[in-house]
Structure 1
Amino acid sequence: MTDEDKDNTELIKKAARSILKDEIKHLQLVPSVAIKLLKLTNDDNARIEHLSLIIETEPVLAAKILKQVNSAAYALPNKITSINRAVTMLGFSTVRQLAINLLLYNKLIQRGSKRAFDLLFFWQHCLYVASLSRRIAVALKYPDPDLVYTGGLLHDIGKIVLETYGRVTYSDFIHSMGKSGHSTIEEERRFFGITHTEMGHVFCLEWQLPPSIMAIVAFHHNQPTETSSYAKYKTEIAIVSFANYIAWIQGIGSATHDSHSKLQSAVLETINIDQLDLEALLQQVDQDMKITREFYDIQLPGLTTLRATLVKATINLSQISEDKPFSAVDMSGRKPSSCLTAPHHSLNPDDFIPRTLEAIQDEFCFDRSIMFTIDPKRRCLIASYWWPTSILPTALQPFEIDMSGISGLLLTCLREKKAVIVNTAIERDNPILQRLNTSEFIAVPVLHHNRLSGVLYADNSQSKKPMRESLLPEIMPIAYELGIAMFNAKQYDQQKKHAQIDHLTQLFNKRMLTNFLTEIFQGDESKLTNIAIGFVDIDKFKLFNDTCGHQAGDDALKIVADILRSLTRPGDFIGRYGGEEFLFVLRNTDAKGAYGYAERIRSEIERRGKLMNQRFHGHLLTVSIGVSLYSADYTNYTDMIEAADQAMYQAKEEGRNRIVMLPDVETGNK
């Protein structure tokens, strides 16, 4: 293990100790027999006799193995009465796999649970990922399919550790999930102080499982660094990551709350998916799961062909969004004409993109041109700019292209990042040709550092002039310059937003709060009568840092920020004022509305704090809120802020975890 791995391991072990009820070596999560079977994965000298002996020492397991191998699912000609015979007939791999499945199922699932973390749903996911991992390994001619099967079966074991032995459980975590937009991994770290992959890694270390399985458990969401001792298992990790991704996009996740899964570019760089017949693989896995369905009573989805299509489309999207390296036209030494580069001297896309399209039309005499940008969330290409402005009538707007429907040469343009000409002679039924009523168009990828930003489209739908192949190398440098301009504009916009946003909570900072209130108080005085300002202060915040560590303090701030964000209306304003203080500005409200909003904030933070009581070492997360309602006596927004601040301190003095309003008016909520 490298020094880097040792340092990381110590950190996650420390985090695990703070969240678990007991030392992990005392946790009876997996039977000792299962551990012995798992270790056979790494034993090159393991023989049939070793496996038989392990199973025979557990009479209940032996009986179930024999019952299963004699079932109709295996259709053996003669009844099998000995474990040694069962192993000989079915093979070492099949029997060991079945034994591990039964042991884990009996220990993890049969205890029953009506909590938010559905263990049967979780078990279905593990079986599916394991089976698909094995099938992928066989297709790729990976030498040890059994290893990746076991890794797939255990990849999410950290979730079971948290659910079974956490001071706060995985079910509590699911209940706490809001609409923050963060990934599950990010939310786990915020809630537990550790992710399920890290907890699984600690479990594997304590039980001394093979390093290859350890690597899969620890890194199936994020590949290890090149200097890590686990980097040599990148193929095993990639196979299980890919199987996990396919399971998720079919709705077979490990929990119903799982957020959008992300296929790492490293996965597609490690395994060649062109070698995989996805439809055949899914059919094989369905058959594998059918065999276990009778025993486990698990219902699986069908429609294999439809799922295969979905998988392919999603992979294509991931390749684009993850910036997987593709071949691209070499831009070295080529300089676009000045009339085409001049429009790029701006940081406003609404300025330089239309001007560039106009310049392209003048230079090459195209009838019309369109700039398609990529919307990764909606998974589509959007016609964001066009020239002349009359070429897209209202009937065609908005003009969007679903990524899952892209095929043929346009797909080649996106995947291989090269300019193409699409016409009816090659793709008669192309929907873009039909929708734009043209017989031919060119598509040019717009790149920056080999990352796809959009697609430049042009045609001669009116003049009917043919699109010459020689145009493509002339247009590529222009698209390249356009990509640079778009990247610079995006960077500028991000920097501008960065100056407005508090880095930790992702809420507006004090500067933006000041600007917002200044604008309101300089506006129409009649609109001020429905304004309320509130101070939200975390109670005894210093204890979070002193007793739980600064990471816990940061997590508390993020939780409060997420709750404020989720409960605030569009048009109102929230921000971090400084330290543990937040400020909200409500418009078009009254005393009752302001109090109701503040109470929703207070009660939700209190509820979340109770869930995380153990996470914060018994220190409850609550807030005191002071609210000021507009009065003609306030000549400036600073007067209202000061009044809200005074009300907040009054709430502290009255016992904390409460709301005080100034002026003290009847709200109907008390």
Structure 2
Amino acid sequence: MTDKDKDDIKLIKKAAQSILKDEIKHLNIVSPVALKLLRLSNDDNTKIESLSQLIETEPVLAAKILNQVNSVAYALPTKITSINRAVSMLGFSTVRQLALTLQFHSKLTQQNSTKSFDLLFFWQHCLYVALLSRRIAVALKYPDPDLVYTGGLIHDIGKVVLENHGRVTYSDFIASIGNNKHSTQEQERSFFGITHTDMGHVFCLEWQLPASVTAIVACHHNQPTETSQFAEFKTEIAIVAFANYIAWIQGIGSANYDSHPTLQSALLQTLGIDRLNLETLLQQVDQDMQSTQEFYDTHLPGLTTLRATLVKATINLSQISEAKAFTADTSNRKSSCLTAPHHSLNPKDFIPRTLEALQDEFSFDRSMMFMIDPKRRCLIASYWWPKSILPAELQPFEVDISGISGLLLNCLRAKKAVIIDAKTEPGNSIIQRLKTTEFIAIPVLHHNNLVGLLYADNSLSEKPMHEQLLPEIMPIAYELGIAMFNAKQYGQEKKHAQLDHLTQLFNKRMVNNFLVETFQEDASILANIAVGFIDIDKFKLLNDNCGHQAGDDALKIVADILRHSIRPGDFIGRYGGEEFLFVLKNTNEAGAKGYAERIRSEIERRGKILSQRFHGQIMTVSIGVAMYSPRYGRYADMIEAADQAMYRAKNEGRNRVVLLSDKK
């Protein structure tokens, strides 16, 4: 898993937690038995005895299994009373499938029937997708049909989490969308701030489910890219996604509002559906569904209900197709502008992408994003498309806010989109500098606070700007405002996670990350690396005599001295307690020891000045320095060497520097 994947997961978890009533780990989503069964779905070493013992802990489940093996279908001469024998007779795969499904059935069918999100209908959808996925896997000779059955059964688990544990429920979501024809995931992200696939992904991670099952839950609406952490599971994902699509077009969606799922070309290429006999598959699944109803003694929505749902789904699909046909030049194409800000948390990525989409979809010649610098009180053109819009002679392109007047001033004050042309405002500085006859200016807001200004013109084609463009572009500016705020929040959270809260130096995790990257350098660069370990002398005595506040102050003082002593490219961090660590690049023994001496000397000087504050105790440090040696196979070995040198410094009287090199 890459660092980007880890960052994305942290962001998803944060979004999930904000919408849930309680911490994820405390949610009673599925039973402990179901979780164990989910984990067993990826364990080839599981014995029949293990499964039998698990079933024996659930009386209802045990009774169902015994009832099944003693049914007329098996016509056994004697009655089976042993769970272990029943499992042996039915087969490991069959029992695990029945047991897992029963656990979800008992959980999902306990609901208030007045709610918009019908959990019985939902369970029928999941069961159908699971059974069809298994049949497709068998037809394609996929080696583990049980795995895709499990993935199909819980592929939409995120919807259940939102329904039962969300601050706003999935029923609330269904009630809010009306006849909106946008994709379900787009609407979910707008309503919850997270999609059901994201929420399901969080669920799988929290309960440590197999990576293959997690991949199906996270990606069944979008095939993973080649660089995705789930790329190796694209076949499993494609099987469940195809089964989900077939369920929907038969009226067996997870809810009767569902917009149609997308059937991606990559999915079809992965499966090779020409190898599938769909008529046979559907007949088999119909039989499976009938047997399952009998096993659970439950009545699923009948043929009439499904036909009605199918009619609604077909009408919905027809309306979407018609809308696309008549609005291909506007609303359909706008989706890429609206979604571009959600593809990244880096403004350097999503803002240029949005500007490019604006140009493509509205045929603008040029577009720019002005950021607001509140200290200098000016607008700064920070992003533009195409890249040739601002030649070197126009950079930096800044507009003094105090000099703004007319419609542009009204745009900033009233926070309304405007079209400004040279006829009404010939003296406008932007018109003059960019040599255009008119341009669109749209405020970018977040919570009604101005964060930027979106600019577009047709200076080359000279096509007129129409007022009806403004309400079409405003939602794009709105999405940009949200994305910019989220990016800022994420940046602050990420920085906070990297820093020690007391000293504001990098924390131990970041120290280790830096050293991991450093040790991947060429041997010629590593040869000039030094690591220094700093420990405040008699820190416990200082804490005991002066109190913990004085101890915290001492740590801040040392951190401040280190911060002002570091060179560009080098690294400092708090390693824990009263310990600090620095990493020097492009140095030698004399340079490393000289740097450490300067730090030690400055801390001693500052300590003498502040001795009265510390009840007469002079603050000093002992420093151990280790130069790189090929014998250090891991960065941890080098830290250990510097640590040993630091202890030598303490044993030799403290307040000194000891350097270890390959020669010593």
Question: TM-score, normalised to structure 1's length?
Answer: 0.48
